[in-house]
Amino acid sequence: MEWMLDHVSLLVADVIRARNFYEQVLGLVPSPLRPIMSFDGVWYDLNGVQLHLLCLPNPEAGLARPLHGGRDRHVAFRVQNLDALCLRLQTHGVAYTLSQSGRQALFCRDPDDNALEIMIAGS
């Protein structure tokens, strides 16, 4: 049996705030494929794998998260230019930490405290 990742879903409290982060800070483009659902949200197509942001109550709201996202559950993305992303994050005042393994990767959090790992493609 061959397995492939289809999508990852993250809970968000405010779709406008989340979209600002994912679109203005990270540069993602919304997918038109999201059907009308009983709750608000947005989908992003990332080369065949989708990221779904779901505006639903978070059962873990207020839970203390580790400072370094690598020590928390996280979703990982690959980019071609990590330096350009670091500059975008700094410009928008988004805190991040570098990978503690020495890889070319960083960890940051979205406005809803979801941990994101972003690494250089091929590392």
Residue-level pLDDT at 123: 62
Entry field: residues in the chain = 123
**Residue 26 CB burial class (10 angstroms; 0-12, 13-18, ≥19):** buried
Task: Name 33's Cβ contacts closer than 8 Å, sequence gap at least 6.
Answer: 43, 45, 50
Domains and their CATH numbers in the chain? 7-57+65-120 (3.10.180.10)
Judge whether residue 121 has pLDDT over 90: no
**pLDDT band (50, 70, 90) for residue 102:** confident
If residue 87 lies in a helix (H) or strand (E), which one and from where to where? helix 82-91
Residue-level pLDDT at 71: 92
The residue type of 89 is: L
Q: What is the pTM of this model?
A: 0.93
pLDDT tens-place string over residues 47-96? 999 999 999 999 998 899 998 999 999 999 999 999 999 999 999 999 99
How far is Cα 120 from Cα 55, in angstroms, rounded to an integer? 29
| CB crowding 40-57: b at 16 or more within 10 Å, else e | ebbbbeeeeebbbbbbee
